[in-house]
Structures are given as structure tokens and as C-alpha cells.
Chain A
Amino acid sequence: MNLRTFLLGTCSAVALAGLAQAETLTIATVNNGDMIRMQKLTDDFTSKNPDIQLEWVTLEENVLRQRVTTDIATKGGQYDIMTIGTYEVPIWAKQGWLLPLDNLGPDYDVDDLLPAIRSGLTVDGKLYAAPFYGESSMVMYRKDLFEKAGLTMPEAPTWDFIAEAARKITDKDNEIYGICLRGKAGWGENMAFLTATANSFGARWFDENWQPQFDQPEWKKTLDFYVKLMNDAGPPGASSNGFNENLSLFQTGKCGMWIDATVAASFVTNPKESTVADKVGFALAPDTGLGKRGNWLWAWSLAIPAGSQKADAAQKFIAWATGKDYLKLVAEQEGWANVPPGTRTSLYENPEYQKAAPFAKATLESINSADPKNPAVKPVPYVGVQFVAIPEFQGLGTAVGQQFSAALAGQMSVDQALASAQQLTTREMTRAGYIK
């Protein structure tokens, strides 16, 4: 024991001495596939920047969010770079918690970032986080099942068509369910999908005076449609299905359609993971003819906490991880289909990428058609497509999501769910001082 302590002590002393000149960046990131790839490719960065060491904290999304939020709000200073989403950036930037990224180097080409994504990460004209990958949502469907049912998926379907097709394809005896949609309660789970869908039905979370709108007919239409469709054509246990569960259903060939994140496209078309890899088609998220589609917008982005002592090194890393050369690096090592999607215009103009990624066009169109500053048909006082960028939303969205999930599970009626959503939202917004 003593000997070991002694040895350990010596080792760390030696290590410390060796790193005396090097700066260590602690990077908090989410455990999605693209980030894990970045972690594996860091040798490229450290060989170009021998004076910078990297230390990774990779966590599951919800845990990561709790950790970084607690840390930045208490100025804990545990992380030099944080991976955050489109939801956090505007809120945190307004608090002065983030460092504007104005020193990303001459080769960075900020104007190459997709405008919709960039606008979601910009506050008062300054970029506060650099997008690592971006996503929207779209329809993924089984071409073989559509053919069998004599259906053709239009490029931009309506909800009515989706509902009709879903019911037609469903064959419960053979475990084929027409449509798989998120049902698991959570602001980033079922509410991401339902809020985006509600936009296309003309609904909104709040009116211009921050009055909750769940008592309006648009929400009733949305939720009625969703619950009925899922009861007729959805898989069993839909109310506990999130992204993952639906992914596995789709990959094992049990879903006719799946409307979810565009990043899923590369999973379902990967023959190593998916049994239906060669049978998947893509289309834009549906609408109801009101001018908004039911697709969301999200970008996992890298940001630096204000007051960081290592801002220069951190910006160097961010420029590396979100720059054009990184895309090339991934393409060389893993093929073009695996580069982080949805951040740069130049990627979508690259013919090699277009060839390798059959989902490129649908992804780009979906991202471009999302407008976080004008998400709903009617005017709203907030920013965000599938969320409302106010600090209260995480709790609020999850509480409302629980009601809707219960409605899907058949444990309360649609009307009851909406009434209690309205009630609890009003309660929370009054407490937070939005409703005077």
C-alpha cells in the first residue's frame, strides 16, 4: 500500500513536471457517435499543437446538461470547453456566461456555416458557440413497404398523407407498424417532436403576452391527431419510446415510417447496424398547408465559459473541431458518409459527399426550412423551433411531456392532458413572472 502510494505519487510528480509548459483543456461533451469520433481523432490536433493537452469528460446527454449547467451557473470552472445545444446558447449568452468566438483564425470561414444553424448560435450579432454538427428532423420510410401498399411518398408530404399511409402499411400480426414516433416524456424527447409538429398545425406555446396556448383548438387538433394515429398505426409501448427505442424498431424492420432527427439517417442506412439499410427513403417533415413544416433545428456546439483562463487554446481547439479540415480528416479516415453533418454549406456542395450520403439533400432542405426566430404560424415572443429558449422550459417541457405521454398511453384523455398542461404552464409562468 505504502509502496503503491509512493509510486503513484512519483508517477504523477513526473507527469506534472513533464507537462509544466503544456496547457490542459478539459472538454465536456455528449456521448453521441460524432463526438466519440472526434475524441478518437484528437491526435491530429495534439500533434499540431504539442503545447495543448486534452482531457475528455464524455457523458450521456441528460447528465452532461446537468453537469455543465450547474458548473457554469455556479462558476465552478471545471470545464474549458462545453458541448451545448441550440437551446442553451441564447440563454447563456444573455447571462454573459459565454465567451464570444471572435478569434477562430483566418481559415475558419464563418460565412460557410449554414445560415439557419449560425443564426441559432448568434446573439446580438456575435457567435457564441461553434456548431459541431447540426440536425433537423425528417421522414424516414421503407420504400419496399410503400411499394407493396401501392403508395408513393411525395418529397414534401402532408400529415393527412402520412396518416393514411401509416394506417395502410400497418400489419400488426406481422409486427409491422405504420409509424413510429416519440412518446417518452421529456422536453428533448416527445416534446421536441410534438412542439415541432404543433408548429405545422398552427399551434404555439405562448401568445405575444406569454399566455399559454394549450386551451386553443390548434393544440387539440395536434394532440388528437397524434394520439389517434399512434393508437391505430404505432408500435406497442409507444409512450416509453424515445429516439433510441424507435431507432431500434426501425433498424429491425418494424416501422413503416419514422419521423425523427436527420442524424438517424446515417444509422438506418448503415448495413452493419440496420437490417433495412438498402430500403430507406427520405422526405421532408409533413405539413398541413399552413406554411410551416413539422421539422426542428438543433446543433450540438462547442462553447467557452466566460472567464476562462485558457481561452486562446480553447478557441484553437474549437476552430480545429468545427473547421473544414476536420471534415476532410474524418472523410479520409472513415469515409464521407460519416462526417459530422449539418454545419457547412461547402459540405453540401461537395459532390463526393452528395454521392456518399443519400440523405444529404433531404437533410439540407430540412435544416434550411427551419426558422428558430419565427417558428410558428402565429407570432410568438420566443426563439426556438422545438423548444422555447427560456430557462424555465426544461422543467416545463418535461412536465407537459408527461401529460402528453399519459394521453398517449391512454391513461387520460386528450382534453384532460391539455387542460392540465395549460394549468401547470400557467402556474409556472406566473411564478416566474412572465404573466403579470
Chain B
Amino acid sequence: MRIKLEKRPAPSTFMLIATPIASVLLTMLIGVIVFDAIGIEGERAVIDIFLTPILASYKWQDVAVKAAPLIIIALGLSIGNRAQIWNIGAEGQYVLGALFAAGVGIAAGPTGGPFTLILMILAGIVGGAAWAAIPAFLKTRWDVNEILTSLMLTYVSFQVLGYLVGGPWKDPNGRNFPATAPLPESLTLPILFPGTTVHLGVAIALILPFVFWVLMSKSVFGFQIRVVGSAPHAARHGGFDAKQTIWMALLIGGGMAGLAGALEFTGSLKAINLGFPSGYGFTAIIVAFLGRLNPIGCLIAGFVLAVTYVGGQVAQTTVHIPNSTAGIFQAMMLFFILASDILIRYRVRFIAKKPANSTEAHT
């Protein structure tokens, strides 16, 4: 018997939806097997990572707060990825977004109100976009690979962060700890449900996917992004400017990452320290692909990945596995989703071996 891949007449909608779900299920299954094999209670670990955050209502707010930045960053990245522009530096743009927001907050002083807060968030968008503008400039001017420049700028951003929070922006009352002073109450995002940590950023993360969906599926800009990604020559023929597309894709990706950084800073953390970069910018790459680069898909995938983050912490206390185990599960999901991509455009056919009487020896 042979296994053969056959091109489908049209991409399969069923597989488009089924493969991400199957990827999550496969990740759980392999997780159980691997953990059992190394002597850890596999089922318990997988249940804690994937199910406890969903079943235990007191974990919901954690999931929502963690999902928000993932969704927002993934939305921006999925636009770039659709246009075959690979921004790997969302983490750095996220950091710059928070720093720009902090800069505005510090400049405004402790007396700022809602107006300052809005300004801080806008500054966050500008900061992230500005950081992404560097790869955009290098790519459009000298055709420098944006994967490398955006990734390397992430590490530069960590140095900038370290310099600012350890130097000029260090909290004078902070016992010499490298961190900014906590934001005054007036400059933090409003909490949506009193008594929880669910801040306005979560609402933004729930609304933006629909805005992006309209943008991508209904607007000329979304069409442009899709054409450039699918057939760059045809895009040029259709009158779309390749350089403009690169700029837009990177600026939107950076702007969204910057927005996420500003929201995380003003909504959750309220101060920036050396631990501010928590990997959201990288995890959002997985979110974007698990969500099939579709804005609504990113919304769902953002929650799935947030569950694994929260679940990783749960499993840390219950079965004593390191928190970074969640990262292994996330990576496994990305692996499966990329591997199963082929099923959307191709079908697998099992072909019985031909009867042996044909003179196959001849060939």
C-alpha cells in the first residue's frame, strides 16, 4: 500500500477548522505519553494545564488577562504573515510600547487623568510601530531580511529596558530595585468587573478581532495584503505597491504589539521591571498560526494559549513540573499545526498495491 497526497480542487474548510483542534488534542495526547514515560503523572499534568483553567472559575480572570496581549499581538502579526512578511520581533515592539507609555506617564507626572492615560496608550502604539519601522526601513531600502532584524531588535529592546528601569526611570522609593515607580491609580486602566483583575484591555482584545476581520475580509487593504502574500507579481500588476505593503504590515504588527505592551503595563503590571518581557510576543506567533492567520481564529487561539500559560502555573504546584513546561506544549501545538497545514490543500489517499503480474521488473 502506498500513501499519496492529492491536490484538492478547492481548499478544505473542514480541515481549516479541524486541524487546529486536532493539533491541540494531539498535543494533549503526546503530553500524557511523554510525561508518563519520564515518570510524571501524565494525565494529571495535561488536565491541569489544559482543563483546570477552564473548569475552575477562579482561574478565568487569569486566562482573560493573559489572553488579551496574546490576541492583540497575534492580530498584528497575522496581517504581516498573510503578506509573507515575517515579524519575529513582536516581543521587542511590545517592550517598546510599554516604555513609550511609561515615558508619557512619567513626563505627565502623578497628576495625569484619563486624557494622559489615552495618550500613554497611543504612545504605546507609536512606540511599537517605531520599533517595527526599523526592519521596515531596512527591508524596503536595502532588502535586509526582516526576520533577522526584527528578532535582533528584540534583544536591543531588552537592553533599552534595562537601561531605563535601572537608570533614569528607576523608582526613587524602590529600595534601589531596577523598576519604575508604580503608576498612580488615575493612570491605570479601569477594571471591568470589580474584585477581579479583568481590565479594559481585555475588552479591547475582544473587540479588535472583529475590526481586523472586517479590515482583512472586506477592505481593499486586506485584499492587498492577501494578494501580496499569495502572488507578489500579481499584486504589482493589480497596482499594489510592494514597499507600501511591507511598511503597513510591519507598522501594524509593531503598533499592535506596542498597544499590547501599553495595556499590559497600564492594566496589569502598573510598573515596568526587568521581568516585563514575558514571551507574549513570541507566543503570539503560535497564536497567529493556530488561529490560521484569521482574526477570529486569533481570538480563539489566544484563549487556548492563555489556558496553557495559566495551566502551566497550576501544574507547577500540583505535579511539580517547571512552569516552562507550558512552553513545550505551546511549541508542540505549533509543530502540529504547521505539519497539518498540508491537509487543507491536499488529501491523503491510501492506494492498494497493484497486482504483481504487471511487468514491474521491466522498469
Interaction A to B: no
Question: Which residues from chain A sit less than 8 Å from chain B, CB to CB?
Answer: none
List the interface of chain B (C-beta within 8 A of A): none
